[in-house]
Amino acid sequence: MTDFNLDALCRRIDDKRDDLVELTRDLVRIPTTNPPGDRYVDCAALLGERLKNRAFSVEYIRAEGAIGDSDRYPRQNVIARHQGSAAGPCVHFNSHIDVVEPGAGWQFDPFAAEIKDGRIYGRGTCDMKGGLAASVIAVEALLEEYPDLPGALEISGTADEESGGFGGVAYLSERGYFSPPRVDHVIIPEPLNKNRVCLGHRGVWWAELETHGQIAHGSMPFLGDCAVRHMGAVIGAFEAQLFPLLKTKHTSMPVVPDGAKESTLNINSLHGGLAEGFDGLPAPLVPDSCRMIIDRRFLIEENLDEVKAEVTDILKSLATARPDFRYELRDLFEVHPSMTEPDQPVAREVAAAIGQIISEPLEYVVSPGTYDQKHIDRIGRLRDCIAYGPGILDLAHQPDEYVVIDDMVDSAKVMAVAAYRLLTTSR
Ligand SMILES: [Zn+2]
């Protein structure tokens, strides 16, 4: 094998700048909005066709039977693998190809991928088609510079990360696509900023709480029982007890931004009484149901049973204190926190490459929200996984989302150098 030449590899990536930009734009112009999970087949094909032309073996895997999968909206995934000339480990770059809906407030067309001031604007530029494109360019440049690399390089484009990853990385992990011996090291190019190694994420518990009442004429509320007032008591107790308690919990995980170093709870939605959406005046009714969705993010120091008990204890004490307080609590979604160690090979090599290529100081971080690392860790049982990619975390899911072209180029260099070192030096 030829000796490693950092400058030559970086120059090769610089030369691919236009290719990187155009690939990002092509990906963004396919509106893979999820939900419902549109156009996955087209986006997976774009990636698969490109890599097939570069001697990758390409597999398309539809997550048949997964949540959300249908003939109208198939959960299509693509995995491309380049097998080197000699045995060695496998470095895998995994990107989700879905994007969230654009929402209101855009000055740019969300799916036109316009370029302005060195940035590409559009839904998914930052989260995370820019990172996907950077990983493709990194791998292509690496293979051109070092055609005799041992081991294997894989790139995947997977479905449904924004809705839990069940039709994407979870499905594939259950089938061995994210486990040794097939894969040894995984880099997920989520937008965490180009100088940051993201070691993992906090945990999640979503639940729906419903309080029950009794319907009656609104002029005689004493004949019914108001479910909204019962929910008001719940919110009052959350304000008095739960929110102050969460403020006292701090993690040693390096979560960014700082506010997310504490436990958090968001009240996602609240619905009580007669549904809106009609013309004219509402009927006078005492609401017999009030529902609230809560989104609790928890720390590696907490466990999920305790997290749930904080809420159920409040509900139980309300049930003793308030006459006729009746409720149901339904679990919707849960994810345990996940964090790999900074001395694991992939974290170590990406950190070293950042030190060589990026001028900003290296940071280790943990994501406030979850991403597909949870499935690779829990189902694939592969610990050597991090997120690393271009793009500014705070722009994800925002209007006028963009990615800075220079950041994509820089992070492609980091990915290429780290992959080279993982394939040639560490096992
Ligand atoms: Zn993402």
Task: Name the residue range of residue 221's domain.
Answer: 203-335
Q: Is 307 inside any structural domain? A: yes
What distance in Å separates the CA atoms of residue 204 and residue 269, rounded to the nearest whole number? 16
Three-class SS state of 403: strand
Confirm whether 1 is domain-assigned.
no
d(CA 218, CA 200): 51
Position 277 scores a pLDDT of 76
How far does the centroid of ligand 1 lie from the alpha carbon of residue 95, in Å? 8
CA of 397 to the centre of ligand 1 (A): 9
Name every residue whose Cβ is closer than 8 Å to that of residue 25 and which is 6 or more positions away in sequence. Answer: 113, 115, 120, 122
Predicted local confidence at residue 71, as pLDDT = 97
Kindly state whether residues 132 and 10 are assigned to the same domain.
yes
* CA of residue 219 to ligand 1 center, whole Å: 50
Instruction: Specify the pLDDT at position 321.
Output: 96
Does 33 share its domain with 164?
yes
Q: 351-379: b or e for each residue (b if 16 or more CB lie within 10 Å)?
A: bebbeebbeeeeebbbbbebbbbbbbbeb
What is the Å distance from ligand 1's center to 200 Cα? 13
Distance 216 CA to ligand 1 centre (A): 47
- Which CATH number belongs to the domain containing residue 394 in this structure? 3.40.630.10
157 and 65, same domain (yes or no) = yes
Quote the ligand 1 centre to 125 CA distance (angstroms): 10
The encoded tokens of residue 364 equal 């280790």
> What integer pLDDT is reported at residue 2 of this predicted model?
63
196 CA from centroid of ligand 1 (Å): 15
Task: Please indicate, yes or no, whether the overall pTM of this predicted structure exceeds 0.75.
Answer: yes
Q: How many domains does the chain have?
A: 2
CATH number at residue 236: 3.30.70.360
SS3 153: strand
Rounded to the nearest whole angstrom, what is the distance from the C-alpha of residue 423 to the centroid of ligand 1? 26
What tokens does 43 get?
A: 């986006």
* 267 inside domain: yes
Distance CA 162, CA 36 (A): 11
pLDDT for position 268 = 93
Residues 354 and 283 in one domain: no
Widest CA span in the chain:
86
Angle, CA 292 vertex, CA 274 and CA 287 arms, to 5°? 25
pLDDT digits over 253-306, tens only?
Answer: 999 999 999 999 999 999 999 877 778 888 899 999 999 999 999 999 999 999
152, 29: one domain: yes
211 plus 124 within the same structural domain = no
Residue 129 sits in the same domain as residue 52 = yes
Does residue 427 surpass a pLDDT of 50?
Answer: no
**How many angstroms separate the alpha carbon of residue 15 from the centre of ligand 1?**
27
- On whether both 128 and 138 belong to a single domain, the answer is yes
Query: How far is Cα 193 from Cα 131, in angstroms, rounded to an integer?
Result: 10
User: Which among 371, 372, 354 has a CA at the least distance from the CA of 363?
Assistant: 354
Residue 224 included in any domain: yes
Q: Model confidence over 154-201: pLDDT tens digits?
A: 999 999 999 999 999 999 999 999 999 999 999 999 999 999 999 999
Do both 42 and 74 map to the same domain?
yes
Look at residues 296, 319, 335 and tell me which one is the last residue of a structural domain.
335
Average pLDDT over residues 69-82: 98
Q: How far does residue 100's CA lie from ligand 1's centre (Å)?
A: 9
pLDDT in tens, 397-425: 999 999 999 999 999 999 999 999 999 98
Q: Are residues 197 and 207 in the same domain?
A: no
Query: Using an 8 Å Cβ cutoff, are 327 and 319 in contact?
Result: yes
Looking at the predicted structure, is the pLDDT value of residue 37 above 90? yes
Regarding whether 292 and 408 lie in a shared domain, the answer is: no
The rounded Å distance from CA 178 to ligand 1 centre is 18
DSSP per-residue codes, 310-358: HHHHHHHHHHHHSTT-EEEEEEEEEE--EE--TTSHHHHHHHHHHHHH-
* Domain stops at, among 335, 363, 393: 335
Rounded distance from Cα 355 to ligand 1 centre (Å): 24
- Residue ending a domain, among 335, 369, 401, is 335
CA 39 to ligand 1 center in whole angstroms = 17
List, for residues 205-242, the tens digit of each pLDDT value. 999 999 999 999 999 999 999 999 999 999 999 999 99
Looking at the predicted structure, is the pLDDT value of residue 354 above 80?
A: yes
Task: Tell me what pLDDT residue 3 has.
Answer: 81
Across the strands, what pairs with 212? 289, 326
- CA 162–ligand 1 middle distance (angstroms): 7
Residue 260 has which token pair? 């997310």
pLDDT tens profile 88-140: 999 999 999 999 999 999 999 999 999 999 999 999 999 999 999 999 999 99
What are the Cα distances from residue 415, in Å, to 135, 270, 321, 354?
Answer: 7, 43, 58, 9
Q: Are residues 228 and 255 both part of a single domain?
A: yes
Across-strand partners of 79? 59, 156
Name the average pLDDT for the chain: 96
